[in-house]
Structure 1
Amino acid sequence: MSDFKNISSNHPLHAYRKCVDHFMPIVYNSSYDVYFFKIETIHPFDTKKWSKIAANLEEYFKIKYPKGSSHDIIDNNNNNNNTLTYCISPSHYITKDELSLVHTRSFICRMHCSPLSVAKASEVCPLVLCPICITERKLLQPIKWQTSGSILAGFLALKYGWAINIGGGFHHCSANSAQGFCLFADITLTIRYLWQEVSDRLNILIVDCDVHQGNGYARDVLSMKPPEQKRIYILDLFNPNIFPGDTIAETAINRVIYLKSKIDDKEYLSLLEFHMEAILTTDHFKPDLIIYNAGTDILIGDPLGRLRISANGITKRDEIVFSFAKQYNISIVMLLSGGYQRSSAQVIAQSIRNLFDKQILDVINN
């Protein structure tokens, strides 16, 4: 709830090209997508959804803000006044040394040297037979780009009030364990880099609306020192009858909201609103930043989620969370997390569009 407009960071993961006039703190790089050996046809996750969302938003912003639009600020050399830049790229994908702020040496070694470890974590069994050099280039690097995107978006959100990473949200990955297509702990890394580079007194609220329990960052919180644990509050709404069922990690969650299978929009949104308000009014936690893990696997028809939330329900959910942040003057960063239907990209893009249509979000003026 403090003013962080004048914050700065010298770390390369927080670096971005300054804009001359107007811009959007929406983070994306064309390397986010994962595609090789037709993985996109054998995995339930739409591994190209990130570029679909970016393309959808680009068309939207070209119409809504007709002064101009550029695809990627890092590759954009046109710095004319009155040029709107809707997308910011991380400066690079996260390196092994940068991962080591959170991840153990043994974990980093496994993920870069063991095809079996990567195959298990990504849930793509054929990767056991794939040379690790190819897996590194085709799978690990895109996830590293998204991880860098989350870290940058967290910094931008704190500085400008809001940010969206069109990717990330790998909430099943912890410092020493990867699972569920979550290969690197971008949420914990985002927090650690903010504590290291901006202030170690930042209070972080994690609002996890992915249908699966967020056990990765929760396990990392359990390993933190007590003063650090007090600076993190977790609200997690998930279906307890599906993966991962991590009872140890659940002890780190401040508000555990079990969602029954086939819950509908009305009941779901009512629960979300009630517990968001209770964080401030009942539990008296005062966050400086909300990390919003906005999974769309709650969508009706999702083969893994088993809920019955409509596309309109997801739009309203995102509206509730962003409106809450705006009402209480709390910075917010949105990560996209899970969503296992080909329609997820369209649903996400439409929801982000709605935030601009309702003027909950708007361009940033330098």
Structure 2
Amino acid sequence: MLQSLFQTLNFGEQRGLGMTDVEFGAQQAARRPHRTELYEAPPSWCWPIVYSPEYNITFMGLEKLHPFDAGKWGKVINFLKEERLIADDLIVQAREATDEDLLVVHSRRYLNKLKWSFVVATITEIPPVAFLPNFVVQRKVLKPLRTQTGGTIMAGKLAVDRGWAINVGGGFHHCSSDKGGGFCAYADITLAIKFLFERVQGVSRATIIDLDAHQGIVKRDELVFRAARSRGVPVLMVTSGGYQKRTARIIADSILNLHSLGLLGRQQAACALGSPSLDHMVRDSAKDFSNLSLQ
């Protein structure tokens, strides 16, 4: 099932999402990194957990017209606070991705399409959005998604720096460079990978692991983190999919489980980037991941 609760990136093998290998390689070769605020270092005392209250989508009750829980991200944070895992001053505050950030993957033509409310209504599967002025749609619907996208890009860099990171949002895996859908307007996963390829020495490959959203997969998240962390491979978790009312609790329980097992910590990571044995570790990890049951 493509819809996922957690999608985890470990930086091994990667292909351009939503474009051919030729298009991806040509685009990559033509670009030079632009100036961005998304790679600015957060305070050292923060956990590599990225979030912003801007993630949550609320506007005159329209969010209730979709079966997704458009406020699940704030609920995850509240559950983690109740368990005293985190506090506001320990969270890395996500920043909104700018147009220049988004153009690393998306075409200008696609970003211009999002200036039409009916296009956004189709992508988000909320028909009444088509009748709203686009400035309202930009502020109340797309800005939260751009902020989550910025959070995924930030978390990618944090994963390399700290060994792991979690964006309590993002994971918009139905979006490609020139087309959105399934509540996914921006290709944050591809963006996170491309930012790393362009800006972080030693990162040239990535693996995307898409886990089932709808069954409560605490154990599978644990297996993925064990495989990656034991090999020194940086791992990034994003929290797309599974927008039912109970999903926020499942996500929080999985993060709490990872912490209780010692798989999450604030210490700086000794990652294997640039190591000649990295390819072997990635291949070993891939074997472990391929054995995860989807039943």
Give the TM-score normalised by structure 1: 0.62
**Could you say which residue in structure 2 is the equivalent of 1:47?**
70
Report Cα offsets for 1:260-285 as digits up to 9, x if no partner: xxxxxxxxxxxxxxxxxxxxxxxxxx
Is 1:139 aligned with 2:141?
yes
Write the letter of the residue equivalent to 2:129.
Answer: L
**Could you say which residue in structure 2 is the equivalent of 1:266?**
none
Instruction: From 109, 113, 130, give the equivalent of 1:110.
Output: 113
Write the letter of the residue equivalent to 2:156.
Answer: G
Conserved? CA contact 1:28–1:89, under 8 Å: yes
Report Cα offsets for 1:196-218 as digits up to 9, x if no partner: 111375210111114xxxxxxxx
Identity of aligned residues (%): 37
**Could you say which residue in structure 2 is the equivalent of 1:14?**
39
Instruction: From 222, 233, 240, give the equivalent of 1:337.
Output: 240
**Could you say which residue in structure 1 is the equivalent of 2:29?**
none
Cα distance in 2 for partners of 1:130, 1:109 equals 17
Give the drift of 1:365. Answer: 5.7
Cα distance in 2 for partners of 1:173, 1:39 equals 22
Secondary structure (helix, strand or coil) at the match of 1:353 reads helix
**Could you say which residue in structure 1 is the equivalent of 2:290?**
none
Give the drift of 1:23. Answer: 3.2
Conserved? CA contact 1:23–1:364, under 8 Å: no
Please list every run of at least 4 consecutive aligned residues from structure 1 whose deviation after the TM superposition is greater than 4 angstroms.
none
Write the letter of the residue equivalent to 2:199.
Answer: E
**Could you say which residue in structure 2 is the equivalent of 1:209?**
211
Cα distance in 2 for partners of 1:37, 1:16 equals 36
Is 1:89 aligned with 2:86?
no
**Could you say which residue in structure 2 is the equivalent of 1:38?**
61
Cα distance in 2 for partners of 1:164, 1:145 equals 14
Is 1:128 aligned with 2:137?
no
Instruction: From 335, 348, 358, give the equivalent of 2:251.
Output: 348
Cα distance in 1 for partners of 2:186, 2:49 equals 21
Conserved? CA contact 1:23–1:365, under 8 Å: no
RMSD: 2.0
Unaligned runs of at least 5 residues, structure 2: 1-9, 12-33, 270-295
Is 1:178 aligned with 2:195?
no
Conserved? CA contact 1:164–1:335, under 8 Å: yes
**Could you say which residue in structure 2 is the equivalent of 1:281?**
none
Moved more, 321-330 or 137-146: 321-330
Question: What aligned pairs does 1:22-33 form with structure 2 within 5 A after superposition?
Answer: 22-33=45-56
Report Cα offsets for 1:314-344 as digits up to 9, x if no partner: 1101101101111222100000010131000
Secondary structure (helix, strand or coil) at the match of 1:176 reads coil
Secondary structure (helix, strand or coil) at the match of 2:88 reads coil
Give the drift of 1:45. Answer: 0.8
Conserved? CA contact 1:34–1:142, under 8 Å: yes
Write the letter of the residue equivalent to 2:70.
Answer: T
Instruction: From 136, 161, 172, give the equivalent of 1:159.
Output: 161
Question: What aligned pairs does 1:263-342 form with structure 2 within 5 A after superposition?
Answer: 296=213, 298-299=214-215, 311=216, 314-342=217-245
Instruction: From 77, 80, 92, give the equivalent of 1:57.
Output: 80
Report Cα offsets for 1:7-39 as digits up to 9, x if no partner: xx97411124322xx431000011100011213
Cα gap change, 1:200/1:23 in structure 2, threshold over 3 Å: closer, same or farther? closer
Write the letter of the residue equivalent to 2:153.
Answer: I
Conserved? CA contact 2:62–2:128, under 8 Å: no
Cα distance in 1 for partners of 2:125, 2:175 equals 13
Secondary structure (helix, strand or coil) at the match of 2:177 reads coil
Cα gap change, 1:179/1:200 in structure 2, threshold over 3 Å: closer, same or farther? farther
Secondary structure (helix, strand or coil) at the match of 2:209 reads strand
Cα distance in 2 for partners of 1:128, 1:162 equals 39
Kindly tell me the number of residue pairs found equivalent between the two proteins: 238
Cα gap change, 1:11/1:96 in structure 2, threshold over 3 Å: closer, same or farther? closer
Instruction: From 80, 99, 102, give the equivalent of 2:102.
Output: 99
Cα distance in 1 for partners of 2:260, 2:88 equals 21
Secondary structure (helix, strand or coil) at the match of 1:14 reads coil
Give the TM-score normalised by structure 2: 0.76
Cα distance in 1 for partners of 2:103, 2:263 equals 36
Cα distance in 2 for partners of 1:10, 1:58 equals 34
Conserved? CA contact 2:164–2:234, under 8 Å: yes
